[in-house]
């Protein structure tokens, strides 16, 4: 069924990440699939902003985020074999690139809970859903 499953999480949304972890663990257990987790750090934005930070700062920021991701995965997906991945750039683009590189069968993404003004899934989840070559499961 699903041999490789990619969980696209946002460490800044612990509740959403936890929901994705639960569903991912259930699917991996049912299908015997391998779990991969990706967290994407947004790019610095305008080059003027990015130039204020040196390359060492960016490396340190990515390393700290990867360490936080490993800590999260060890707790949220305890008992499962998990490979973590960090990316930086456009969130939906990096999720799609990671999925292609890893040749995953399924991508799990989260969606914000809709409010009165917002009955759509988030823009990153929507783009991943539209453009992914793989199956996509949106977890609410």
The pair of three-digit structure tokens given for residue 39, joined into one six-digit string: 């967290």
pLDDT tens-digit profile, the chain (140 residues): 899 999 999 999 999 999 999 999 999 999 889 999 999 998 765 555 556 667 788 889 899 999 999 999 999 999 999 999 999 999 999 999 999 999 999 999 998 665 544 555 678 899 999 999 999 999 98
User: Closest Cα partner for 28 from 64, 78, 67?
Assistant: 78
Contact present, 24 and 108 (Cβ < 8 Å): yes
The pLDDT, as a whole number, for residue 123 is 85
The DSSP result for 76-87, as a single string, is HTTTS-EEEEEE
The pLDDT, as a whole number, for residue 115 is 56
d(CA 52, CA 32): 46
User: Closest Cα partner for 45 from 93, 88, 92?
Assistant: 88
Q: Which of 3.30.465.10, 3.30.300.130, 3.40.50.970, 3.40.50.620 would CATH assign to domain 4-139?
A: 3.40.50.620
Tell me, yes or no, if the pTM score tops 0.75: yes
């Amino acid at each position: 069924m699903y041999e490789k499953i990619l969980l696209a999480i946002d460490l800044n949304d612990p509740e959403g990440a936890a929901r994705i972890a639960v569903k991912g663990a259930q699917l991996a257990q049912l299908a015997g699939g391998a779990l991969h987790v990706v967290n994407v750090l947004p790019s610095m934005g305008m080059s003027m902003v990015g130039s204020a930070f040196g390359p060492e700062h960016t490396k340190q920021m990515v390393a700290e985020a990867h360490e936080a991701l490993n800590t999260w995965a060890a707790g949220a997906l305890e008992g499962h074999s998990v490979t973590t991945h960090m990316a930086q750039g456009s969130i939906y683009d990096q999720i799609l690139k990671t999925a292609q590189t890893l040749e995953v069968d399924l991508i799990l993404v989260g969606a914000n809970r809709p409010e009165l003004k917002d009955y759509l899934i988030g823009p990153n989840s929507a783009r991943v859903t539209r453009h992914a070559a793989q199956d996509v499961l949106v977890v609410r």
